[in-house]
């Protein structure tokens, strides 16, 4: 395993390139979340929910800045141009209702939380340290986001629309993990940058949200509707 205490520039080329891509991807996800939730503030119906969403936007923004600063420190470059270009190429969809904002907060945020946990023992110490702090802060609002979303889905008068929104944001949550069983996964696991293949994380994510999905009264979308590469043995029972 690559020595954790050395600087990024002292690592071999493949290791450092993988870490750089990890930081870029994380910065993209954090800023995309902050922008998506910020756009959705127009749909928030009451002060209690407004306080939660505003706090969440601030937290996502702070996480983006922390990753951007780490990137600057260890590469000597700004991550902002890359993130800006990525957001233009692959923008995260904005919500168009309070129902959609609640479901997006639940599934996109939960997917990101599961993805982050795969790096909590990262062999590159600077990233491990910052990810540990982000995970601790993210863990504090996971259950609250789910409660909001479940209640909104239960109350939705248009069940077909709720099902469509659920499928849309479940897809975004699953996309957080990347493609399963690829070479990048294998290498990152081999050198200790992450713990497991994306396939295993996808299965844990689905297991984690299963009871909340049952509570909404909705159904899992088909694989075709999701359009995401999934492990064959993922459990779609409810």
pLDDT digits (tens, 9 = 90+) for 175-232: 999 899 999 999 999 999 999 999 999 999 999 999 999 999 999 999 999 999 999 9
pLDDT level of residue 148 (50, 70, 90 thresholds): confident
pLDDT at 142: 67
**pTM here?**
0.91
Mean pLDDT computed over 147-164 = 91
Segments making up each domain of the chain, as ranges: 9-226
pLDDT of residue 231: 93
Q: Is the CB of residue 148 less than 8 Å from the CB of residue 106?
A: yes
**Confidence label for 140 from pLDDT (cuts 50, 70 and 90):** low
pLDDT at 4: 45
Which two three-digit tokens encode residue 21? 């891509």
Q: Tell me how far apart the alpha carbons of residues 232 and 68 are, in angstroms, rounded to a whole number.
A: 36
Domain 9-226 architecture: Up-down Bundle (1.20)
At 103, give phi and psi (nearest 5°): -70, -40
Residues 226/164, Cβ–Cβ less than 8 Å: no
């Amino acid at each position: 395993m690559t020595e954790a205490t050395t600087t990024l520039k002292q690592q071999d080329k493949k290791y450092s390139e993988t870490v750089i891509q990890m930081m870029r991807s994380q910065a993209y996800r954090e800023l995309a979340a902050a922008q998506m939730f910020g756009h959705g503030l127009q749909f928030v119906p009451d002060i209690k929910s407004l306080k939660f969403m505003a706090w969440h936007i601030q937290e996502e923004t702070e996480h983006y800045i922390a990753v951007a600063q780490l990137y600057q420190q260890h590469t000597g470059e700004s991550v902002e141009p890359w993130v800006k270009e990525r957001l233009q190429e692959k923008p995260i969809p904005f919500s168009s209702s309070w129902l959609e904002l609640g479901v997006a907060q639940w599934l996109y945020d939960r997917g990101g939380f599961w993805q982050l946990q795969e790096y909590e023992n990262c062999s590159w110490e600077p990233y491990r340290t910052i990810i540990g702090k982000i995970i601790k802060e993210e863990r504090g609002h996971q259950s609250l986001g789910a409660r909001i979303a479940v209640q909104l889905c239960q109350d939705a008068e248009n069940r077909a629309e709720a099902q469509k929104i659920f499928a849309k944001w479940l897809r975004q949550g699953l996309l957080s993990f990347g493609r399963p069983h690829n070479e990048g996964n294998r290498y990152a696991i081999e050198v200790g940058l992450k713990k497991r293949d994306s396939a295993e994380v996808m299965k844990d994510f689905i297991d984690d949200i299963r009871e909340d999905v049952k509570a909404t009264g909705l159904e899992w979308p088909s694989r075709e509707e999701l359009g995401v590469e999934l492990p064959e043995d993922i459990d779609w029972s409810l």
